[in-house]
Each structure stands twice: as C-alpha cells, then as structure tokens.
Structure 1
C-alpha cells in the first residue's frame, strides 16, 4: 500500500534524525575531550565515542540481529570499563554508559534489555565502590538515576511500539475496508446480473408459453379449419350425387366451425389475460414444463381479475412455485398438485396443495428451500405459511403485496 510505504519512510526519517542529533552531541563531547585531556586519554575517549557511534549507526545494518547487538553492547561496556579503570575516564565512561543504557532500553529485546541494564548498574556500582571509594549513598543515587533513565527510555519505546501497532492496525483496517468495498461492489454487480437473469428467465418462460399456445392453435384450430375447407370443397359434388350425404357433411362442417370458434375465443381470452399479467403466463409455462418432465398432474385455478404484475412479484411467485413443485416431486412423492392464485386489490395469494405422503398433525420442520421461500416473501413485505393438507399432503400459502416493487419495464 502506498500509505504504508509513506509511513515506513516517515519512521525511517524520524529514526535517522534522532541518530544524527545524538551523533552531533557525541562529536561535541569528543571535541571537548580533546581540548581538555592528554593525547593518550583523548585517544581512548575518542575510541569509546567512535565505538558508540558505530553501534547506533549499524543497528539497522549488520547489527540487525539482536545477538550481534548484545555482543556489541558487551564489548563497548568492557571498553568503557577498561578506560575508566585504566585511564580514569570516569566522566566520559559514565556519559556513554548512560547512552548505553538508553540504547538497551530502545533496541534490545525486553528480557535481555533488563538483564544487561541490571548487570551494567551493578558492575558500575562495584567500580564506583572499589576504584573511586564513593559512599553507598552516592552509589545508590547513581544507580537510581541509571534505573530512572532506563525506565524513561523503556516507556518511550513502549509508546513508539504502541503507535506502530496502532498504525499497523489502522493500515490493516484500511486494507480490509477497501476489500469490503470491492466485495460490496462485486456483490451489487452480481445482484444486478442475477436480476437481469431472472427477468430473462421469466421472459423465456413467457415466450415458451406463447409458443405452446401458437402450436396448439396450429394443431387444433388449424386442423379443424383445414377439415372445413376440404369438406366445403367437396360439398357441391355431394349435393349433385347424394343430397342426404351433403346435408350430413354440411352439419359436420358447422360443428367443426363452431368448435374452432370456441377454441379461438378461449385462446383469445387466455392471451388477453396473459398480456395483462406476464407473470401468470410464466407460471403456466412452468406448470406445463414440470408436467411434461415429471408426469405430475398439476391444476391451476386463477381467481379475481389479473392486473399487470410487477417484476419482483412475478419473479417471487415463479420461484416459490418452482421450489414448491420441486419439493412435491422430490420429498412429498405427490401425484397431484393444485395451484390457486387469488389476486385482490392489495395482495396476491398463491396456494399450492399436494396429495403427498405427509400425514402428521403438524407440518414438518422447514428445510433450506422452505426457509428460502419464507425469507423471500418476508423480504417483499409478505408472508409464507406451511400447513397440513387432510387427509394427507401439505399446503403452502404465499401472500405478496402488489404495491411494493416497480412495474415491469419501468
């Protein structure tokens, strides 16, 4: 992440700034040492300062491993102790020991840092006591100052690490938020594609049902009209040959024509209903398809005037009927299903009854499919119930409001 890189860069610059500032302070101390000391002492003290400078500048390089850092701290402290004992450089040694304690608190692991600092404080107290002959009170004061300095820098380290952890958590939350936004956009796109696919499936069902009606017209009415034409063409010859046979033929032609007219009126009535509510046409197509594929006998009864159904209502009723018929075939072992659709001014009620094998007084525990239908209906502001159908079987009742979704095509 670009923000993470900028954060790391800012932390690196801040760390380098602290190291540079400390280096300038140490250089100032080296200059003062050279001006006030002999050449040998100045050389020893300068060596101690340079050793500490190497330590702080190499911590992010070849001293990245904490074991190497610990070894470097031990060597530098031994150098400081040797200079203090051998050349009486206690001022310089104590200044750098303070710096070494601060380094322990900031750069060594917790337990190792505490162990090294305690060892330095104890050994320094021993040198003060045996070499400088300082009183116990002064040694105790120096030890408390050393411990206080360690506590101060340890607190600074804890705050720095806490801020780093907070920053890391913040970056992780930002990454997670970005991923959630991307997932949300993907889900919205998937939902849109699913809605489009549902509309296409409903339109395909409508087209399939209209194709079936057209085929029925061709097979029934077309055949009847063809028979009428053939008999009318033969009628003049029959009149000349046999009047009685001609009368019978004419009577038959009239019957066929009346039947064709009845079928035409029926189909026109169905088409008028289907044009008013394409969702109902999709339900009919589904019923015909299930009957052809499974042999299940399904009857459909429509009550009330059919009005234009809304897209979500049509899809919801289609899915509920589809799942109900699937359950009737797969689980109920039903041979007949009765479907009734009752449209009222404010709601549509669809009831699916089967003659399946269930004989209990209470309906069975709902499974994934039933729960899915109930959730669909409730999300649309409706309801879904499952009841027993005496003497055996189940009845599923779905009620859907008709004013909660946009119209088809809007």
Structure 2
C-alpha cells in the first residue's frame, strides 16, 4: 500500500486539480464536435494524464519523466492531427507536466518543441485561425510558467526546511555542548577544590601534626624524668600529654575530612584557582573577602570560576602583570567581584573587547548583573562585576 504524507497528497491534488480545470474546459467542446470514437480517445488521453500526475515523484527516474513527456506529447499531437482537432487542447496539461517534472533547461526545450509543433499544426491544418492561435499560445506559456514557478517554490520550501532542520540540529548540538562544558567546568572546579583541600590538609599534617608528635615524644620523656619528682608535676605532665594526644587525633580527623570533602562550593574553588595559577606562572595572586567563605549555588560558583579563569587568562596573554588581586564582598543588595592587575595598559590605551570579555559579559547578562572594565592609574586593568542579591536568593545560592 502506497504511504503518502498529507503534504505530498496536497501537492499532487493541486496539480491534478489544475489539470482537471483545463481539461474540463475542453471536454464539453470535444463531446459536441467529435465522434464517439474520437471522444473516447480524448477520455483515454485525459486519464493517462491523471495517472502520470498521480504517481509519486519519488517513484520516477529522470529518464522516465522525459519518456512520459515524449509519449504524451506524441499521443496528443497524433490525436489532434488524425482524430479530432480538439485533441490539441491536451497540450495544456502537457505543459504543466513538463514545467513541474522535467529538470533544468531540458524542460524549456521540451516545452518549446511541443508548443512550436502544436502551433504549426494548428496553423497549417487550418484548425484555428491566427487570432485564435495567439490566445492558445499564451495559455500554453502560462501553464508552463505557472507549473515551473510552483516547482521552484516547492524546491525552495524543501531547501528552507532542510536548512531549518540543520539549524535545529546545530542548536541541539550546541545545547549539548554547553551542558557538557558546564559539566566539565564543574568537574574542573571540583578537582581544583579537592587539590587545594588536599594541599591544605598535607600542610597541616606536615607542620602542626609533626610538631604535636614531637611534643608528645618530649612529654613522654619528661614523664619518665619526673618519676621521682613531686606528684603534682607528674599529674601536670600527664594532663598535657593527654591534651596533646587528643589534639593530634582531632587534627588527623579534621585533615582526613578536609581532604575527602569534594562537595564544597563558594570561595574555596576560586582560591584554589588562584593558588594553582600562581604556582604555574609565578605571578602573585590573592583573594580578599570580608568573610571567610560566601555560600554560592553551583551555577554561581561556576560563573565566578569561569569569569576569574577568563580574567586571569587575559592578564597572562595581554599584559606583563606581576600581581593580580581579587576582591569579593557581599553588599546590601548585591554581590560584588573586582579583579585588577598591575599590567602595562594605561588609561590612554584603547580597550577593544575580545572573545574573553565578550564571553564574560554574556555570562553576567544571563544573571541580570552589570559589568564594567577600565584601565586604572597609573597602569593596570580592572574588571568589576555586580550581581543583584534578589537573583542570588531566588537561585538559593546566598543566605543572609
């Protein structure tokens, strides 16, 4: 069973309806002027056109279109010359078929050939007078141009639909890439936090842990040295030894918890980023904040992390800065981030926003924030970001 889309059926019905209108204008005249045999041939030819128009275009091969054109054109001419002049009217649906189904310049060649043959036969056989031939020729040309225009419009529609589908697919791929980028950023952020916490835990363990261990060893030695001393001195040593052991156990527990915690957000990943960048570049970097940490949502932490990452990258690329200073503070109705360096740029230099600054601006705009940047006196670059506190509260990232 032939499965056709509604769109395809509508297109073919439109062409068939157009052809039927043309043929129906001829059938009454054929019925009145032709013999029963001639009229029967007209009906057969009419249904041949209906069949070729109804068959799906996808079922045809290019050479089959041309073969059908030659057969239908020859049959129509033969009918007109030898079986009633009314058969020349069948050339009008032929013009529609040629205009819609034949490719490129070959369509014009076929239409011109059969149009010229029909005109010559009409004139030479005195079937129509010259004043009647001209309207017929104009109608023939109109049928061809109309069908050709419909074909071009249809092809343009298909092309636009294909482009639209490609754009939708590209949009979907971009959304997926954006999601993957966000996940990668979060993973990078979590790795940075984990590395920073591990470093802090190692430093605490190596410094304070070793010191307490040494203290415990010395207290043990002191305990044996005071075995024959006053009772209260031995008691004091036992108490100090107990406190030192308890402190060492607590530090080890805290260090283990600190090293294993992978979920914290806020300012910790920002400090980790600056710490790693300073380690690899030698540029002094510090983060200043009136609070030890500011709890942020995952989205805001990623946003601040990417902004800071982009700002540090721009500084490394475009200036000879020796220091980068980052300030984050929670104000009455907003959260403020300021990033500045001591690079070569001066107020007299023109700042042209590149891909980095444009990307930062887009991120801030999505959060309804504001962005400003300028060259500071006497030299260096400063970037200020302000995010409204209302948005942060809706995101659940801030607690006041």
Deviation at 1:354, TM superposition (A): 1.7
One of 376, 381, 384 as aligned partner of 1:394: 381
Matches within 5 A, 1:60-75: 64-65=65-66, 69=70, 73=74
Aligned partner of 2:367 among 362, 380, 384: 380
- Is 1:32 the counterpart of 2:23? The answer is no
Structure 1 distance, partners of 2:263, 2:11, is 66
Calculate the aligned-residue CA RMSD, in Å. 5.1
Q: Would the aligned equivalents of 2:328 and 2:335 in 1 still touch at CA under 8 Å?
A: yes
> Aligned partners of 2:281, 2:310: CA distance in 1, in Å?
14
Aligned partner of 2:85 among 79, 85, 94: 94
* Structure exhibiting the larger radius of gyration computed from Cα positions: 1
Contact in 1 for aligned 2:369/2:388 (Cα 8 Å): yes
Correspondent of 1:146 among 130, 133, 143: 133
The correspondence of residues 319-398 of structure 1 with structure 2, limited to 5 A, is 319-362=306-349, 364-398=351-385
1:8-407 aligned at under 5 Å gives the runs 32=35, 64-65=65-66, 69=70, 73=74, 92-100=83-91, 103=94, 107=98, 109-110=107-108, 113=111, 117=115, 120-121=118-119, 124-128=122-126, 142-236=129-223, 278-304=265-291, 306-362=293-349, 364-405=351-392, 406-407=395-396
Alpha-carbon spacing, 1:150–1:66, altered in 2? closer, same or farther (3 Å): farther
Which stretch shows the higher mean deviation, 92-101 or 5-14?
A: 5-14
**Structure 1: segments with no counterpart, 5+ residues:** 35-44, 84-91, 129-138
- How many residue pairs get matched? 360
Write the deviation string for residues 5-63 of structure 1: whole angstroms up to 9, x where unpaired: 656775797799899999999998999376xxxxxxxxxx89x9899899979989977
CA distance in 2 between counterparts of 1:67 and 1:13 reads 16
Q: Which moved more, 1:295-304 or 1:49-58?
A: 49-58
Unmatched 5+ stretches in structure 2: 54-59, 100-106
Deviates more, 1:337-346 or 1:157-166: 157-166
Match of 1:133 in 2: none
1:341 is displaced (CA, Å) by 1.4
Partner of 1:40: none
Checking the alignment, whether the CA contact within 8 Å between 1:63 and 1:69 is kept in structure 2 is: no
TM-score after normalising by structure 1: 0.66
- CA separation of 1:236 and 1:28: change in aligned 2, threshold 3 A: same
Contact kept? 1:98, 1:146, Cα under 8 Å: no
Distance 2:43 2:335 in 1: 90
- Distance, in Å, in 2 between the alignment partners of 1:407 and 1:78 is 84
SS at match of 1:197: helix
> Shift in Å at residue 224 of structure 1?
1.4
Which whole-Å deviations, capped at 9, do the CAs of 1:363-394 have from their partners, x for residues lacking one? 53232212222222232222222222333322
**TM-score (norm. length: structure 2):** 0.67
CA distance in 2 between partners of 1:300 and 1:114 (Å): 81
